[in-house]
Amino acid sequence: MAPGTQRRRRLFALTGAIALSLTTLGAAPASAAPGIPGVDKVSQSGNIQHLANIPKQAPFDNVDAFGTDIAFTDDHAIVGNYNGFTIYDIKQPSKPKIVSQVLCPGSQNDVSVSGDLLFLSTDSSRSDNSCASTSQPATNQNSWEGIKIFDISDLANPKYVAAVETKCGSHTHTLVPGKNGKDVYLYVSSYSPRPEFPDCQPPHDLISVVKVPVRNPAAASVVNEPVVFGPEGGNPGIPGTFPNHYVTATSGCHDITAYPDKDLAAGACMGDGVLFDISDREHPRIIEQVQDDTNFAFWHSATFNNDGTKVVFTDELGGGGQPACTAAIGAVRGADAIYDITGRGDDRSLRFASYFKIPREQAATENCVAHNGSLIPVKGRDIMVQAWYQGGISVWDFTDSAHPKELAYWERGPLSTEQLIVGGSWSAYYYNGHIYSSDIQKGLDVFALHDPRTASAKSVRMDELNVQTQGRYRG
C-alpha cells in the first residue's frame, strides 16, 4: 500500500538512548537512595488504596515468566504471561479469583478479547503453532510466530481454535472492529528483521492485517500487509547504547492504538510516531509522521484522549530492562510526549506540546520507563493511569497539554539492591471503577482511587475493554 501524505518533523530539546532486551540484568551493588522505598516496601500518595494482590501461580511463577498485558470482558480480567494467560474473576475487585490458566508459551502473549474470542500474540520462534510447541531458531524455515485464537465462551475452559502466521511474528496486536459487524481485524505489529530469518526478511516497514470472521474464526487470515513508510522508509536511527544518546532505526511498529469511532489510529513505530486513517480497515494509510531524535529512543505505545484531539506517545528508553528513572537520565528521556492533533482530514498534524515523567527518582537496580496505560473516563478532563515498571503506577492529568501533572502514585521498592531483576508494572489500566496492574513478577494488583477529580469515572461502565482499541465514553 502506498503511504498517504507524509510530513516529518524533528523536535530538539535534550538527549535520548536504548537497549532492546527484557532480560535479568546484573548491576553494581547499590543501596536505595533517599526517598526510594526499601526492597518490596511501598511508597504511595494518600489518595490511592491497594486492595488486593494475587501472586503468579505455577507454571507462571518463575522469574522468566513475565506478566504482560491485560484485556477485560464483563467481570473478568485476562492477563498475558510469557507462558500463556490467566483469567481472573474480578466481580469483587478486592477479592479477585483465578478462573483458569492456559499454558501456551510464546512471548509476549499480549491479549485482546472480542465477545467469545481471545487473541494471543506470539513473538518468539516456535516449533509449531500449538500450545505444546517448543522454542526453535528463527533461522529455521519451519519455525512459527503469529496470532493464536481461543474460544472463551466457557471462561473456565478456553479452547484453542486457530492460528495465523505473520511475518516477524506478533509482538503486539490491535483489535479493530469491522464496519459490517461480522468481522474483526487485528493490526499486527512486529519488527527487527534479519537476512538470515526466512520469515522475517528486511525491509519490514509493514504491518500485517488479519481478518477474523466472528462466526468462523478458524477462517482467519492475513488480508493485507500495508507498507507503512514507503520508499523513503522510517527513521534511519542514530547508533548508540543505553544510557547514552541513540535512536532506534524503524523496522516496523511496536504498538498501534486505534480509535475506530474516529477512523484514526496512532502508531508507535520505533523511531517514528504515526497517525493513520483507518476508514478502510484493510488499508490503513499514514496521514502524519513525526520524529524526536533528541529525547525519544524507542516509540513504544500511544493513547488518544477521549476527544481524539491529542495523543500521548511513550518512549521505552532502554527497552524496558534498564534503570531509566534516575537523576542522571533526567526528566524528559524515557518519558511520555504529549502531541496535539491539529487540522482536519488528511491535513491533520501532530504538534508537540510537552513531556511527562514520574517525578520520583528510582534506584539503579530498578528497571523503570514509561509503559502501558489507559484513560480514566472523567468527563471534560484528560486523565490516565500508567505503568512505569518498577517505578510503579502513576495517575496524571494532561488536560493542559503543555503542563501535565501527577495526581496519584503507588510503587513497590526494588526487587533487589544488589542486582537489577526485571519486574514492576507492565500494564496499569482503569476498568469499571478500579485500577488493575499486571506486575511482571508479583502478579495481579488491584487499586481503588479516592480522589474527587476522578470520582465521576466510577459511573462509567464497560462490558469489554481492550486498551489499544479506544472507545468514546460520555461520562
Rounded distance between C-alpha atoms, residue 83 and residue 131, angstroms: 9
Rounded distance between C-alpha atoms, residue 387 and residue 162, angstroms: 32
pLDDT at 475: 57
Instruction: Please check whether residue 35 lies inside any domain of the structure.
Output: no
pLDDT digits (tens, 9 = 90+) for 73-89: 999 999 999 999 999 99
pLDDT at 34: 59
Exposed/middle/buried for residue 136 (C-beta within 10 Å: 0-12, 13-18, 19+): middle
pLDDT digits (tens, 9 = 90+) for 170-204: 999 999 999 999 999 999 999 999 999 999 999 99
Rounded distance between C-alpha atoms, residue 297 and residue 294, angstroms: 8
With the C-alpha atoms ordered 288, 292, 296, 297, is the resulting torsion angle positive or negative?
Answer: positive
pLDDT of 29 above 60: no
Question: What's the domain range around 226?
Answer: 41-466
Cell numbers that stand for 40 in this block: 518490596
SS3 418: coil
Instruction: Please check whether residue 87 lies inside any domain of the structure.
Output: yes
Residue at grid coordinates 484514526:
264
pLDDT at 19: 32
What is the rounded average pLDDT for all residues in the chain?
Answer: 93
Q: Are 172 and 255 in contact (CB under 8 A)?
A: yes
Q: Are 349 and 298 in contact (CB under 8 A)?
A: no
Instruction: Please check whether residue 141 lies inside any domain of the structure.
Output: yes
pLDDT at 31: 39
Instruction: Please check whether residue 23 lies inside any domain of the structure.
Output: no
Q: Are 467 and 429 in contact (CB under 8 A)?
A: yes
Q: What is the mean pLDDT of residues 276-281?
A: 98
DSSP annotation of 470 reads: -
Instruction: Please check whether residue 266 lies inside any domain of the structure.
Output: yes
Gyration radius (Cα) of the chain, Å: 20
Instruction: Please check whether residue 309 lies inside any domain of the structure.
Output: yes
pLDDT at 286: 95
Contacts of 231 (CB under 8 A, 6+ apart): none
pLDDT of 30 above 90: no
Contacts of 349 (CB under 8 A, 6+ apart): 7, 288, 341, 342, 343
Question: CATH number of the domain that 185 lies in?
Answer: 2.130.10.10
Instruction: Please check whether residue 20 lies inside any domain of the structure.
Output: no
- Number of structural domains found in the chain: 1
pLDDT at 231: 80
Residue at grid coordinates 518490596:
40
pLDDT at 230: 79
Contacts of 419 (CB under 8 A, 6+ apart): 24, 25, 26, 27, 365
Q: What is the mean pLDDT of residues 428-442?
A: 98
Instruction: Please check whether residue 424 lies inside any domain of the structure.
Output: yes
Q: What is the mean pLDDT of residues 118-140?
A: 97
